[in-house]
A = this chain, B = another copy of it.
Amino acid sequence: MTAKLENDTFLRACMRQATEYTPVWLMRQAGRYLPEYCATRAKAGSFMGLATNVDFATEVTLQPLERYKLDAAILFSDILTVPDAMGLGLTFTQGEGPKFAKVIRDEASVNELHAPDLSKLRYVFDAVKSIRNALQGRVPLIGFSGSPWTLACYMVEGAGSDDYRHVKTLMYSRPDLMHKILSVNADAVAQYLNAQVHAGAQALMIFDSWGGVLADGAFQEFSLAYTARVLSQIERRYDGADIPVIVFTKGGGLWLKQMAELDCDVLGLDWTMNLGVAKELVGGRAGEPGKALQGNIDPNVLFSPPAQIVREVHRVLDSFGAPHVDKTLKGPTHIFNLGHGISQYTPPEHVSTLIDTVHAYSKVLRA
């Protein structure tokens, strides 16, 4: 028996329903910029130690909600849990990010790939269930995964990259193998996201963190098509509620109109895209179909003094303009977020300034 949701502003904005203010959450809001997160992580010993322990994962997911008036919680986990469950061996090295023990670069290793047994991801579903219970209906819980292409980048490169040489070499030389990897990834991601919903996730987000490194043409063929394949398999209603889905392609602004054809509810944007332009292109007018928009302040704004943060938050809210206020219609809506994950060097008190300014000024914009 789950508690009734006290604050459904985020979910309503996802479904393009009018809200009293602009909801806000932050990518990577449970992270190293919070001393309490660092304390829990120290107890857990490692990033994966933290993510695979239900109590720790629950604790860190709720930490930012204690400090800030956030309108959503997001499962504490990583975008790369699926390939880890495929047997690639995910670890996080200090300061260097994710690393896989095994890489996929030849026909033999591609042919061995298959969607993982979901039992290997049980720690994630247990965490979702535990977090949902711990939230007691305060705000909705977002589940997530990396996109098929973004997973493939790490599976082929074995780690982050600055030129994507290995994954693009495979893609250009053996597109057949790349399509096989992406098909396996898409089906696995869809099963994984559905299982998160069954465990209690109330919205889903697909992080196409590396879609923006692709050439025009390659993006549509190797990233967008497989995000669409995930979406075609996701259950969109569960337990009597709509499950909105957010798709975020970092650096994908040029393909926004094509992304608007995806069967998702919300498009995430990074800071290079003007929100007003995006609203015009894909936001839809009141009473007409369209996508809700999420984003998109530069996380580096949080390093400036509070007065400047206020100014930049105003600028982002102003760029979207007044959201629609007619409760009888769906129309253009905005969910405030960063354009990328929050930096570990962010002063935690600056985040309060951002959150409070979003709430206060977005009410003024509706008045």
Residues on A lying within 8 angstroms of B by beta carbon are 162-165, 168-169, 172-173, 212, 214-219, 251, 253-254, 271-274, 296-298, 300-301, 303-305, 308, 312, 315, 319, 339, 343, 345
| Given A271-B216, A272-B212, A272-B214, A168 contacting B254 (CB threshold 8 A) | no
B298 near A173 with CB under 8 A, answer no
Contact among B164, B214, B217, B303 for A169, CB-based, below 8 A: B303
Decide: B214 and A168 in contact? CB cutoff 8 A: no
CB-CB nearest 8 A-B residue pairs: A168-B300, A215-B271, A172-B304, A169-B303, A173-B304, A216-B274, A215-B298, A253-B254
Copies in the complex: 2
A298 vs B172: C-alpha distance when bound (angstroms): 10
A100 to chain B, nearest CB (A): 20
Residues of B within 8 A of A165 (CB): 300, 303, 343, 345
Of the residues B168, B300, B304, B315, contact of A217 by C-beta under 8 Å: B315
- Point out the residues of chain B lying under 8 angstroms from A301, CB to CB: 168, 172
Minimum CB distance partner of A168 in chain B: B300
Bound CA span A128–B253, Å: 39
* Contact indicator A169/B300 (Cβ below 8 Å): yes
Expressed in whole angstroms, the Cα–Cα distance for A111 and B303 within the complex equals 22
Assembled-state Cα–Cα distance A169/B312 (Å): 13
Minimal beta-carbon separation of A315 from chain B (angstroms): 6
| Given contact pairs A217-B315, A251-B251, A254-B272, a sample of 14 additional A-B residue pairs in the complex whose CB atoms are under 8 Å apart | A163-B343, A168-B298, A168-B301, A172-B300, A172-B304, A172-B312, A215-B296, A215-B298, A215-B339, A216-B319, A217-B319, A218-B298, A253-B253, A254-B254
State whether B212 touches A308 (Cβ < 8 A). no
Do B215 and A303 touch (CB < 8 A)?
no
Contact between A215 and B272, CB atoms less than 8 A apart? yes
Question: In the complex, are the beta carbons of A173 and B215 less than 8 A apart?
Answer: no
From A216, which residue of chain B is reached at the shortest CB distance? B274
